[in-house]
Amino acid sequence: MDGFVLRGLRLSIFLYALLHFINYYLQINVISTIHAGIGLVMLVLAATYLTLHRFKLPLFLLTGGVVILVLTGGFNVGNMRNGLLQMSDIIGLLAVVPMIGWVLRQEPYIEELIGLAHKLLDSSRKFYFVMVLFTHMLSYFLLFGVIPLMYQFVSNILQHQRGEAWEYFKGSALLRGFALSTMWIISIPSFAFAVDALNAPLWKAILQGFFVAAAALMMAVLFSYFEEKRYGIDFTSEINTEIAAVLERSSDKRVQLRMAIEFTFLFITLFGTIFLLYEMLAVKLMLLIPFVIIVWASMYFFVKRKPKNMLTEMKDYYVNGLSSKAYQFSVLTSAGVIIFAMNQSGIGETLINGIYSFQEVVPFFNMLYFLPFIVIILGFMGLGPLTVMVLVAGILESISLPYSPELIVLAVTSGSAISILLSPLIMPVIILSGTNGLSAFKNGLKFNYKYAIALYVMVQCYIQWMVS
C-alpha cells in the first residue's frame, strides 16, 4: 500500500507541474479541470503518505479556505478549481529549480574557488566576509541547501576548531548569507513570487535589494568583529594555521582559475538570460525562470558531454526528490485555496482598511513599517519564507497600495530575511541545527537577534526615506 501511495504521489506531483507549463499556452478549460483534479489527488496522497500528524498545516489551510468560501456563498466547483490552481506557477518553479544543483555537483567549483582566493582569507574578518559572500552567491544555485554544503566545506577547512564561539563564527555567517539572498536573488522562489505577484519592475527590485543586501553584508562583518571581542578568541591565527594545511592538498593554479572562470560564466549566463528575456518578452517571471533553467542545465550537460549524468540526476530526482517535496507542495496548494477564498471574500481589503484607520490615528505610522512584522510573526508560527510570501503577497496583489511595488517587495522580503535569521521553526535554522548540533534557538534567536534588529532599522530608514 505504501509503495502504491508513493508512486502515485510522485506521478501526481510530476503531472501537476507539467500541466502548468502545458496549459499556460493552451488555456483549455478541460485541461485546467484535470490539472486541478490532479492537485486534489496530490493532496489526498500526500495526506496518506505524510500521515495526519505531519499534514496539519495543509489541512488547516485547505479547511480554512473551504470554510471561507462556504460562509461567503462562493463554494462551487469553479472556485475550488481556481483555488487549487492558484499556486501552480510557484510549484512549477520549485519542481525545476533543483536542476541548478545538478550542474553545481558536476565539478568541485567551491573548493577550487576557495583555493584560488586563499589570500583573501588571512584574517577572521576576511574569512567571515568570504563565508557570507559565498553562501550568498551559492544560494542562487542551491537555495537553503547551501547551508549544509557550506558548513561541511568550512568545517573541512577549520577541522580542529570546536566550541560555541566557532559555531557562532560559522553558523551566523551561513545563516546571514542565505537570509540576505531572499532580498534580491531571482532564483529564490519567495523573492520571484513577490516581484511577480506585486508586479514590481524586476530591475528596480533586484538593484534595490542588491544594495541593501550589500550594506547588510558589511554590517554582518562588523557585528562578527564585536562578537569575536566578546568571546576573547584570536580567530585569525587559528584560521591561518588551518588554511596553510589546506593549501598543501589543493590543485594547481591553472585548474583553480579554470574552475573560477567556469563558475562565473555559469552564474552570469543563468542570471543574465533570465533578466534579459524578462525585459524583452511579455512572459511571467514565474514561467520564464523554469524554462531558462531547463535550457541552461541541458546545455551545460550537452557541452560537457555528460548526458548520462543528466539522465542519472533526472532518475534520482524523480525517485527520491519529488516525494520529498510532498509537504511543501501540499502547503502551497492548500495555501492557494485560502488565498483565493480571502481575495474573493474581501477579507484582505478589510484588513488593509483597518491598518489605514490606525494610520490616521498615528500619522507617522504607515503600512511599510508593519509588513515585515506580519512575515516575522508567521515565521515564528512555523511557516517558511515561501509559504509566508504566498500568503502575504497573494493578498496584497489584489489590493491597491499607495506605495511603489518595489518598496513593498523590499518590506516583505526584509521580513522574510529576519524570520530566517530568528525563527527556530523554519527550515534554514532547523537544517543548520541538524548540521552543527546546536539548538535552533541558539543558532537563530541568540546568535542573530541584535543583527536582525539592526537590519530592520536599516531597511526601514531606506524605505521611509523613499516614501517621504
Backbone angles phi, psi at 28, to 5 degrees: -100, 130
- Could you tell me the three cell numbers for 413? 522580503
In the chain (468 residues long), the average pLDDT of successive 10-residue segments reads: 84 93 85 94 92 84 90 88 88 84 80 71 84 86 73 73 81 93 88 88 92 95 87 79 69 81 87 83 81 92 92 92 86 84 70 63 75 85 74 74 88 93 82 76 90 96 90
pTM: 0.73
CA dist., res. 179 & res. 184, Å (int) = 10
Confidence (pLDDT) at 351: 61
Q: Which three cell numbers stand for residue 178?
A: 542565505
pLDDT at 358: 65
Q: Which three cell numbers stand for residue 379?
A: 515565521
* Span 191-231, pLDDT tens digits: 988 898 888 898 899 999 999 999 999 999 999 888 888 88
Residue 355, pLDDT score: 62
Confirm if 421 and 144 have CB atoms less than 8 A apart.
Answer: no
Does the CA dihedral 190-192-195-199 come out positive or negative? negative
Domain count, the chain: 1
For helices 405-422 and 447-467, give the axis angle rounded to 10 degrees: 170
Domain limits for position 389: 3-467
CA–chain centroid gap for 254, Å, is 34
Instruction: Report the pLDDT value the prediction gives residue 335, as an integer from 0 to 100.
Output: 81
**Secondary structure string (H, E, C) spanning the chain:** CHHHHHHHHHHHHHHHHHHHHHHHHHCCHHHHHHHHHHHHHHHHHHHHHHHHHHCHHHHHHHHHHHHHHHHCCCCCHHHHHHHHHCCHHHHHHHHHCHHHHHHHCCCCHHHHHHHHCHHHHCCHHHHHHHHHHHHHHHHHHHHHHHHHHHHHHHHHHCCCCCCHHHHHHHHHHHHHHHHHHCCCCCCCHHHHHHHHHCCCCHHHHHHHHHHHHHHHHHHHHHHHHHHHHHHCCCHHHHHHHHHHHHHCCCCCHHHHHHHHHHHHHHHHHHHHHHHHHHHHCCCCHHHHHHHHHHHHHHHHHHHCCCHHHHHHHHHHHHHHHHHHCHHHHHHHHHHHHHHHHHHHHCHHHHHHHHHHHHHHHCCCCCHHHHHHHHHHHHHHCCCCHHHHHHHHHHHHCCCCCCCCHHHHHHHHHHHHHHHHHHCCCCHHHHHHHHHHCCCHHHHHHHHHHHHHHHHHHHHHHHHHHHHC
Separation between Cα atoms, residue 208 and residue 214, nearest integer Å: 10
pLDDT in tens, 345-361: 766 566 656 665 666 66
Amino acid at 191: F
Locate 215 and state its grid cell: 550594506
